[in-house]
């Protein structure tokens, strides 16, 4: 099974098998859409979620947690949630003297919705990523007038507007729906060096495992956002190289170019 990272014209890596392939894909493609390196891959014993997060660019999707020196370890803290990604939003932009818009967030424009239908993911073993998808889904400009949701206001049952973890991800933000999982679903998390990459291995509780599979199946071939401390550290597409959904068996693995200190810090946050 696989989850691959977000497409904003970004490139979605690959796949559930959530992890192994990440290393390979990064070598082949080495690309980073907005400075976000290679791909965050979510994997579970035998399953992988390859996630990429990045900014919009002309063709593919970028990868998730990336550059090791872009942000000091320990900068994240607080809440943890896994949510469906509804659409991409631009950085806040206010004219001189203009106040930020307040109140409930608007809904994403139909053309900007990151649904499985709009993404049009097609497994393709002949493609370097293992699949193809629509990389031309536009960022929804209506969110430019809204400030990002503060961690204190991040309602688990409501829609939130959150920034990417790394500033070199292109400045894009994410509109995310209701949380499907929170920290209570995590049984354990540890940093591990795999294929010369630091990864975070997450094991869910029995209840969390069911919640994770339920959410991942609902978001099959669509995006899932992983939020820590009010920032999106990964926004992968679920199992893009698979024709049908398969269980993650209570595990998730996140990789993507972070160094040892960052991986251990993020694991400790969980």
Contacts of 147 by beta carbon, 8 Å cutoff, 6+ apart: 92, 100, 161
| β pairing state of 236-238 and 3-5 | antiparallel
Q: Name the residue among 53, 110, 62 with its Cα closest to residue 86.
A: 110
How far is it, in rounded angstroms, from Cα 13 to Cα 268? 26
Q: What percent of the chain has pLDDT over 70?
A: 68
Q: How far is CA 1 from the centre of its chain?
A: 16
pLDDT at 25 over 70: no
Q: Picking from 66-70, 115-119, 164-168, 252-256, which range would have the lowest pLDDT averaged per residue?
A: 66-70
| β pairing state of 197-204 and 186-194 | antiparallel
Burial class of residue 65 (count of CB atoms within 10 Å of its CB; 0-12, 13-18, 19+): buried
The structural domain count of the chain equals: 1
Helix (H) or strand (E) holding 266: helix 260-269
Q: How far is CA 166 from CA 2, 68, 72, in A?
A: 23, 10, 10
Q: Which residues pair with 121 in a beta bridge?
A: none
Mean pLDDT of 246-263: 84
CATH of the domain at 145: 3.30.1360.200
For the segment 151-180, what is each residue's pLDDT rounded down to a tens digit? 777 788 899 999 987 655 544 899 999 999
Q: How far is CA 22 from CA 25, 188, 199, in A?
A: 5, 23, 11
Query: What was the pLDDT predicted at 57?
Result: 32
For the segment 84-143, what is each residue's pLDDT rounded down to a tens digit? 999 999 999 988 888 999 889 999 999 999 999 999 999 999 999 999 999 899 999 999
In our burial notation (b when 16+ CB lie closer than 10 A, e otherwise), range 209-224 reads bebbbebbbebbbbbb
Domain holding 30, by residue range, is 3-269
Query: What was the pLDDT predicted at 77?
Result: 54
User: How many Å is the maximal CA-CA distance in the chain?
Assistant: 54
Handedness of CA 108, 9, 35, 190 (dihedral sign): positive
């Amino acid at each position: 099974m696989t989850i691959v990272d977000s497409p904003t014209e970004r490139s979605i890596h690959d796949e559930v098998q959530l992890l192994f392939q990440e290393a390979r894909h990064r070598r082949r493609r080495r690309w980073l859409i907005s400075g976000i390196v290679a791909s965050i891959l979510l994997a579970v014993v035998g399953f992988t979620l390859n996630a990429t997060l990045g900014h919009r660019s002309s063709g593919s999707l970028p990868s998730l947690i990336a550059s090791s020196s872009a942000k000091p370890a320990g900068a994240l803290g607080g809440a943890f949630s896994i949510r469906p990604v509804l659409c991409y939003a631009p950085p806040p932009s206010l004219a001189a003297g203009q106040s930020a818009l307040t109140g409930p967030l608007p809904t994403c424009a139909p053309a900007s919705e990151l649904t499985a239908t709009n993404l049009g993911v097609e497994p393709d073993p002949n493609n370097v990523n293992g699949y193809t998808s629509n990389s031309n889904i536009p960022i929804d400009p209506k969110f430019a007038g809204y400030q990002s949701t503060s961690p204190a206001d991040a309602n688990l049952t409501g829609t939130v507007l959150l920034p990417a973890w790394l500033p070199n991800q292109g400045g894009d933000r994410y509109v995310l729906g209701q949380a499907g999982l929170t920290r209570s679903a995590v049984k354990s998390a540890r940093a591990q060096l795999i294929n010369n990459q630091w990864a975070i291995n997450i094991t869910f509780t029995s209840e969390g495992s069911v919640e994770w599979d339920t959410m991942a199946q609902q978001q099959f071939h669509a995006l899932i956002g992983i939020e820590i401390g009010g920032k999106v550290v990964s926004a992968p597409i679920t199992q893009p190289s698979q024709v049908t959904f398969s269980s993650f068996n209570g595990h998730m693995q996140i990789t993507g170019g972070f160094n040892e200190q960052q991986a251990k810090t993020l694991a400790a946050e969980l």
